[in-house]
Amino acid sequence: MSDVPEVPPEVAPPAAAPVVTPVRVVIAVCLFAPFVALLWVGSYTKIDPTFIGVPFFYWYQMLWVLISTALTMTAYKLWQRDQRTRHGGNR
């Protein structure tokens, strides 16, 4: 019927791992969340509540520096774990 010969299952190459996995979705969310939080300026263009005399506008952005650091570190560790599992733990 077709010109392509059938390959027996024992000779066929192993199926490739899926590109989009739940771990990779979590990594994407970790990296994308700071952009959404800081590009939506209308959500934090206000003075109140103040924190030790610093207006909300400023301390909100400084808080996101710390949150972004934690999220980036989490994404990196998840990526390392994902790569180890994909390559059979050789790394």
Span 40-71, pLDDT tens digits = 999 889 999 999 999 999 999 999 999 999 99
**What pLDDT does 29 receive?**
96
Q: Which residues are paired to 54 by β-bridges?
A: 51
pTM: 0.73
Looking at the chain, the whole-number percentage of residues with pLDDT higher than 70 is 80
And the tokens for 67? 């949150």
- Cβ–Cβ under 8 Å, residues 71 and 34: yes
Lowest mean pLDDT among 26-30, 78-82, 84-88: 84-88
Distance CA 41, CA 43 (A): 5
The phi-psi region of residue 2 (left if phi > 0; otherwise alpha if psi is between -120 and 50; otherwise beta) is beta
What is the secondary structure of 2-47 as a DSSP string? -SSPP--TTTSPPPPPPSS-HHHHHHHHHHHHHHHHHH-GGGT---
Of 4, 62, 5, which is closest to residue 34 (Cα–Cα)? 62
